[in-house]
């Protein structure tokens, strides 16, 4: 199943030749590559490496705001300058607004890793789009996300949120125009450009959703503990030389 228009899988965590092949096979025109704890310059380099005339790989940053216990994820597209993880949500939103980046809220209210209703209301004027479907969501997660979008009047998006290669292209949105680089996609989100949301159906989709949900347990337990506690300072920590001390006033660690 594909759709007319310019199809974008808005949130992908993995990138290699297999991901590119699968995205093309699923009818995607672009994917947003936004891995955790990876510097913007490295994301851009990888995105450029895997882009071609058939598929645009657009760099994005899913920012890990706040502390481990009170973390909130924010997806930014169209950044001009790098923004670290582990700073306050307020400082993150201010910086994204200063840079005029598109601000997307992945998996709202999902577990303890994203913005809740009150936080979405607080930053409604800054947020450009709210995710209302991804394969990790359970049905009540999708319903709750749609309710928040209706309450706030914020536009919506769907994505595969793919941590596994096989999930790429399971959910996407389709614009009525080409948005084949970070600036164009950011402008489309900021302007509330017309879009339609899609996801695949059937047993294969159910099976892939189950695989992604199973992967979630590892990703949010040992995987992050290993990165945060055992591997030293993250390259996206505000103490890293790349940030030149600009975020010392708002870092949480």
Domains of the chain are 6-250 (3.20.20.140)
User: Highest mean pLDDT: which of 1-10, 78-87, 215-224?
Assistant: 78-87
Give the DSSP H or E segment for 157.
strand 156-158
pTM of the model: 0.93
Given this model, what pLDDT does residue 138 score? 87
Given this model, what pLDDT does residue 230 score? 47
Categorize the per-residue pLDDT at 189 as very low, low, confident or very high, splitting at 50, 70 and 90. very high
Given this model, what pLDDT does residue 217 score? 64
Is the pLDDT confidence value at 193 over 70? yes
Q: Residues 250, 190, 101, 140: what is their CA dihedral angle, to the nearest 10 degrees?
A: 60
> 165: which 2 tokens?
């290669």
Higher pLDDT, 129 or 215: 129
């Amino acid at each position: 199943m594909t759709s007319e228009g310019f199809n974008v899988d808005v949130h992908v965590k993995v990138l290699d030749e297999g991901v590119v092949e699968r995205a093309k096979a699923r009818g995607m025109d672009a994917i947003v590559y936004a891995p955790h704890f990876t510097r913007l310059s490295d994301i851009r380099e990888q995105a450029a490496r895997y882009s071609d005339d058939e598929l645009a790989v657009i760099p994005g940053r899913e920012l890990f705001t706040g502390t481990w216990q009170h973390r909130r994820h924010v997806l930014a597209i169209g950044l001009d300058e790098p923004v670290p993880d582990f700073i306050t949500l307020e400082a993150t939103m201010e910086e994204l607004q200063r840079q005029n980046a598109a601000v997307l809220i992945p998996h709202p209210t999902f577990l303890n890793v994203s913005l809740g209703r009150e936080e979405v209301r607080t930053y409604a004027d800054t947020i450009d789009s709210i995710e209302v479907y991804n394969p990790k969501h359970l049905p009540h997660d999708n319903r709750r996300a749609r309710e928040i979008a209706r309450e706030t009047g914020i536009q919506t998006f769907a994505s595969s949120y793919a941590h596994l290669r096989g999930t790429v292209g399971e959910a996407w949105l389709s614009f009525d125009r080409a948005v084949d680089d970070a600036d164009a996609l950011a402008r489309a989100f900021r302007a509330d450009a017309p879009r339609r949301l899609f996801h695949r159906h059937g047993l294969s989709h159910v099976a892939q959703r189950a695989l992604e949900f199973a992967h979630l347990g590892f990703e949010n337990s040992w995987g992050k503990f290993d990165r945060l506690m055992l591997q030293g300072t993250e390259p996206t920590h505000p103490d890293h030389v790349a940030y030149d001390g600009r975020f010392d006033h708002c870092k949480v660690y």
